[in-house]
Amino acid sequence: MEILGCSEELINVIADINRRGIILAVYFKKEIILLLPQELQLALDGLVAEVPLGALQAAAQRLSLQYRERRFTPLSDVDRLAYLVTRLPATFQAIFQALSAVKKRAPHLEMKSLLDVGAGPGTGCWAAADVFPSLEKTTLLEKDSRFISLGKRLGMGAATWLQLDLQREFSVEPHDLVLASYSLGELREAALETVIKKLWNGTTQALVIIEPGTPAGFQTIRYVRELLISYGAHILAPCPHANKCPITEGDWCHFSARLQRTFHHRHAKEATMGYEDEKFSYIAAARIQADSEAAPRIVRHPIQQKGYVQFTACTDEGIKKVVVTRKNKELFRRAKKTNWGDSLS
């Protein structure tokens, strides 16, 4: 379809709009894509407006290579701006999905304070504020002073930024929700256990760790999961049990979050599609048990055929194939709307 010279990928239909007429989400090929909060998008566009597109493209390529090769050397100023354009929207969606899974599993948890660890430009605060409007206090730990300045300029309300290196001596004040997104994988392996112990000791309600949805990212998550279980934590999501992880060698548990590519994002990546899918792995654990029993978690794209939907789900008996046929009308209707990452209830 061509409308006024626009390709189909660039045309979205409003899926959600708030009372002030601000668009919150759009449909793209029947899938809903949540947009970044408008204030964040505007602030971000303002920060990158002056950067020549060529410089942004080169920085986005450097950044992507650096993350693929897991080289976590300090970034340049333009690399950090490329992070805002190409990575922040992706990590925002991953955080939003992981926190939404926590809220769904434990709706009784009332989060008043957030600690965002390895906060970068503060992505986690924005996503957490969307999922938990009850948040009143936010603390961000970050070692890079330039990311802290950018985070402050993005304008996340009243927040306390602390510049520190997690691999050195530091202490954690208790917070209801402790979040580390895409940051723990940057630490030396030897430092991870001490950091997780400190974060868990500083968690009064839930601890959520998110890493890239790659084999290496999943290895970190699996290790953190084992540590948390050994501390007596209750696993909230994505696992529906605290048994040994049933994912076999060569495979990795990960999920996918769709995001819209803005003008700068598309140009920075020299991309034509109006969206991309961010793959992520995560683990969420709570101090107290959730009040409902966990349902199997869908760990692959469901296969939809005419009379049935087939799921691959993680259950307390391991990874299972579950088939829902149209014989069971109500279940089949719900199954057709159930996606990868959802629980099968």
To ligand SAM, the closest distance from the beta carbon of 322 in angstroms equals 32
| Segment near ligand SAM (CB under 6 A); pick from 32-40, 140-148, 245-253, 261-269 | 140-148
Q: Are 299 and 282 in contact (CB under 8 A)?
A: no
Tell me how many residues contact ligand SAM (CB under 6 A): 19
Q: Are 319 and 310 in contact (CB under 8 A)?
A: no
Q: Token pair 């070692």 is at which residue?
A: 143
What stretches of 154-248 adopt beta strand conformation (E)?
160-163, 175-181, 203-212, 234-237
Q: How far apart are CA 324 and CA 165, in angstroms?
A: 49
Interaction between residue 89 and ligand SAM (CB under 6 A): no
- Centre a 10 Å sphere on the Cβ of residue 25 and count the other Cβ atoms it contains: 15
Interaction between residue 212 and ligand SAM (CB under 6 A): no
Interaction between residue 240 and ligand SAM (CB under 6 A): no
Interaction between residue 165 and ligand SAM (CB under 6 A): yes
To ligand SAM, the closest distance from the beta carbon of 88 in angstroms equals 6
Q: Are 185 and 120 in contact (CB under 8 A)?
A: no
To ligand SAM, the closest distance from the beta carbon of 257 in angstroms equals 12
Interaction between residue 144 and ligand SAM (CB under 6 A): yes
Choice between 26 and 187, CB closer to ligand SAM = 187
In this structure, the strands spanning 297-298 and 303-304 are unpaired
- Centre a 10 Å sphere on the Cβ of residue 65 and count the other Cβ atoms it contains: 10
Residue selected from 9, 186, 277, 316 as contacting ligand SAM according to rule CB under 6 A: 186
Choice between 281 and 343, CB closer to ligand SAM = 281
Residue selected from 182, 200, 252, 282 as contacting ligand SAM according to rule CB under 6 A: 182
Interaction between residue 313 and ligand SAM (CB under 6 A): no
Closest CA to 283 of 217, 189, 327: 217
Interaction between residue 211 and ligand SAM (CB under 6 A): no
In this structure, the strands spanning 203-212 and 275-286 are antiparallel
Interaction between residue 183 and ligand SAM (CB under 6 A): yes
| Segment near ligand SAM (CB under 6 A); pick from 17-25, 159-167, 314-322, 323-331 | 159-167
Interaction between residue 142 and ligand SAM (CB under 6 A): yes
Interaction between residue 166 and ligand SAM (CB under 6 A): yes
- Centre a 10 Å sphere on the Cβ of residue 283 and count the other Cβ atoms it contains: 29
Q: How far apart are CA 103 and CA 199, in angstroms?
A: 20
Q: What is the DSSP string of 303-340?
A: EE-SSEEEEEEEETTEEEEEEEETTSHHHHHHHHT--T
Torsion 38-42-47-53 (CA) sign: positive
Choice between 56 and 210, CB closer to ligand SAM = 210
Interaction between residue 66 and ligand SAM (CB under 6 A): no
Residue selected from 79, 105, 106, 124 as contacting ligand SAM according to rule CB under 6 A: 124
Q: How far is CA 56 from CA 51, 83, 121, 285, in A?
A: 7, 10, 17, 38
To ligand SAM, the closest distance from the beta carbon of 186 in angstroms equals 4
Interaction between residue 118 and ligand SAM (CB under 6 A): yes
Interaction between residue 147 and ligand SAM (CB under 6 A): yes
To ligand SAM, the closest distance from the beta carbon of 12 in angstroms equals 24
Looking at residue 9, what DSSP letter applies? G
Which residue ranges make up the site for ligand SAM (CB under 6 A)? 88, 91, 118-120, 123-124, 142-144, 147, 165-167, 181-183, 186-187
